[in-house]
Structure 1
Amino acid sequence: MSTLTDTARGTAPAPASGGAIGQSVRDSLVIARRNLIRMSRIPEMVIFGLIQPVMFVVLFTYVFGGSMSIGGSTDPDVYKNFLMAGIFAQTVTFATAGAGAGIADDMHKGLIDRFRSLPMARGAVLTGRTLADLVQTSLTLLVLAVVALLVGWRPGYAEPTNAGKIAAAFGLLLLLGYAFTWIGALIGLSVRTPEAATSGGLIWLFPVTFISNAFVDSSQMASWLQPIAEWNPFSATVQACRTLFGDPGVSPSDAWPMAHPVWASIIYSIVIIAIFRTLAVRKYRSATA
């Protein structure tokens, strides 16, 4: 009788095996699969997600490439190779808006309430959604890397690199993208409509991505703006990727994130995940109570 009462109240019964962590993993994978199937049935979601970053690569490369000075050089090839790490990082972080809009849409349609009535781990809905977004981001990043190679990006252009370092750079990009999707999840749970989630997800991203070393060398910024750019978590990942890719424009700096960009990128991403996952799960419980 007690078990029936608990289930009726929406409380998940104890899992048969694997414990609470095992159940949470299984539930998260089920939700991730559901979102991936949904994406495959709406291919325009993936297509439009690919078009924007490709446009950024082409526009920045051919419109601004000849007017930017990197390390005293205005050679378009230098800027092209300097730029790509920033474009990659911008692409994975802009997926935040889509994550927030998707969760807001599920909230608006009442789907989250239906999930909450099922005997499943509380954080599984959000974890599954962010994992599905990570898969989509990986696909986008793969296509973008191919386009970058076609327009002339060459890893190892300034410093020698290898396949392991290149793979590590893409791993840092995906880790940053996953961390930022939790910010998007919190925004999606905090607004009433998908449109508001999209707008809210982009407003804060523009200053984060542009007040950074993604598109210009931060040493060329105003003196009061330079420390902000150098301590920006986004800048740390861009700097780490340039170092691992062997791209030009890795300027020396006394700021710790710029002097140790790989470690800074990992630490920033883990801290963002820890903070915003906690806040998002808490918001999920209160928003659907």
Structure 2
Amino acid sequence: MTATAEPRGTADGATLASDHLVERRSRRPGLKALRDGWTIGKRNLRHFTRLPRLLVFSTIQPVMFVLLFGTVFDGAVRGALPNGFPDYLAFVMPGIFIQSTIFRMTQTAVGLAEDLEKGVIDRFRSLPMARSGVLIGRTIADLVRSMAVILLMVAVGMAVGFRFGNGPLAAVAAVAIVGVFGYALSWAFVNIAMVAGGTESAQSASFVLAFPLSFVSSVFVPTESYSIGWLAAIARNSPVTAAADAARGLAVAGPVAGPVVKTLIWAAVLLAVFVPLSVARFRRLE
């Protein structure tokens, strides 16, 4: 009897196909992390929309800042405004975009710390997914929520008299630069969640970082108005000042190129430092 040849594509074929699939996936770990991150991001967004009280309260604070700062302090600050700003609302609105984004990103640390406490992250780690995908998903979801709040603030600001002075494309660019800076900064808050050891600790530590970042900057007043020299120096060189000035220059008036370049450099530095640091600490939690 002559031996019959084993059909091609059975055991050896399956092994080759499996090896090819593993090799193809291993060549694209970044794509897998982004795909897994988007899956986790959608989960976080669904969780947010199912809590209407959280949705309402997270939008009240920035709207209050627009209404209070834009109207209450106009008479006191108008005389110190740089050229090109007709009133305080025109000056402070882009700054409030940045300030609101910073405080919105504190919820990245709080939400991630809460998921760690409740064991949600442990369940994610049991799945065949990229470890960085969990963190990417959290930051993407919080960025989407932050941009939604910014758009609401724009609507409220325009209702009380704010206007973009450089056209629609510059307005879109102003909102985009806020988003880029906010996303980069959110990774610093991810790192806080990794080391805080609990939700309350993460909330306290995030506030300690967010408060001085927001107020020792050009968010609410020009840095030239600072009466303490060393504090003015810190404010002038703050990444928040660069982002606020970039958004302000694009949206209303003032220099554009310098602040935008500084903001992008700061964003790149923040991502280069805190993304690998956060992922490494996340892996050590295992």
The TM-score range, normalised by the shorter chain, is 0.7 to 0.9
Aligned residues of 1:70 and 1:217 also touching (Cα < 8 A): no
Aligned to 1:126: 135
Q: Quick one: structure 1 residues 246 and 77, their matched pair in 2 at CA, closer, same or farther if it must change by over 3 Å? A: closer
- Residues 231-246 of structure 1 aligned to structure 2 (within 5 Å): 231-246=237-252
Aligned residues of 2:243 and 2:259 also touching (Cα < 8 A): yes
Matched letter for residue 251 of structure 2:
F
1:193-245 CA-to-partner distances (Å, cap 9, x unmatched) read 21221111111111111111111110111222222111100000111111111
Matched letter for residue 216 of structure 1:
V
- Residues 153-232 of structure 1 aligned to structure 2 (within 5 Å): 153-156=162-165, 161-221=166-226, 222-232=228-238
Higher Cα Rg, which structure: 2
Matched, 1:285 2:283: yes
SS at match of 1:273: helix
Q: Distance in 2 between matches of 1:228 and 1:259?
A: 21
- 1:72 is displaced (CA, Å) by 6.2
Aligned residues of 1:213 and 1:239 also touching (Cα < 8 A): yes
Aligned residues of 1:70 and 1:79 also touching (Cα < 8 A): no
- 1:140 is displaced (CA, Å) by 0.5
Q: Distance in 1 between matches of 2:103 and 2:143?
A: 12
> Number of residues paired by the alignment?
262
- 1:165 is displaced (CA, Å) by 1.1
1:40-81 CA-to-partner distances (Å, cap 9, x unmatched) read 1112222111100001111112221111144468xx951111
Aligned to 1:266: 264
Q: Quick one: structure 1 residues 197 and 15, their matched pair in 2 at CA, closer, same or farther if it must change by over 3 Å? A: farther
Query: Whose helix proportion is higher, 1 or 2?
Result: 2
- 1:266 is displaced (CA, Å) by 1.0
SS at match of 1:118: coil
Matched letter for residue 169 of structure 2:
G
Aligned residues of 2:242 and 2:260 also touching (Cα < 8 A): yes
Q: Quick one: structure 1 residues 15 and 134, their matched pair in 2 at CA, closer, same or farther if it must change by over 3 Å? A: farther
Q: Quick one: structure 1 residues 72 and 98, their matched pair in 2 at CA, closer, same or farther if it must change by over 3 Å? A: closer
Aligned residues of 2:108 and 2:142 also touching (Cα < 8 A): yes
Q: Distance in 2 between matches of 1:29 and 1:184?
A: 19
Q: Distance in 1 between matches of 2:72 and 2:218?
A: 18
- 1:16 is displaced (CA, Å) by 6.2
- 1:15 is displaced (CA, Å) by 7.4
Q: Distance in 2 between matches of 1:19 and 1:72?
A: 51
Q: Quick one: structure 1 residues 259 and 118, their matched pair in 2 at CA, closer, same or farther if it must change by over 3 Å? A: closer
SS at match of 2:234: helix
State the percentage of identical aligned residues. Answer: 37
- 1:264 is displaced (CA, Å) by 0.5
Alignment RMSD: 2.0
Q: Distance in 1 between matches of 2:41 and 2:23?
A: 20
Q: Distance in 2 between matches of 1:278 and 1:168?
A: 28
Aligned to 1:142: 151
TM-score (norm 1): 0.85
1:117 corresponds, among 126, 130, 133, to 126
- 1:82 is displaced (CA, Å) by 0.7
Structure 1 gaps of 5+ residues are 1-12, 253-257
Q: Quick one: structure 1 residues 14 and 120, their matched pair in 2 at CA, closer, same or farther if it must change by over 3 Å? A: farther
Structure 2 gaps of 5+ residues are 1-20
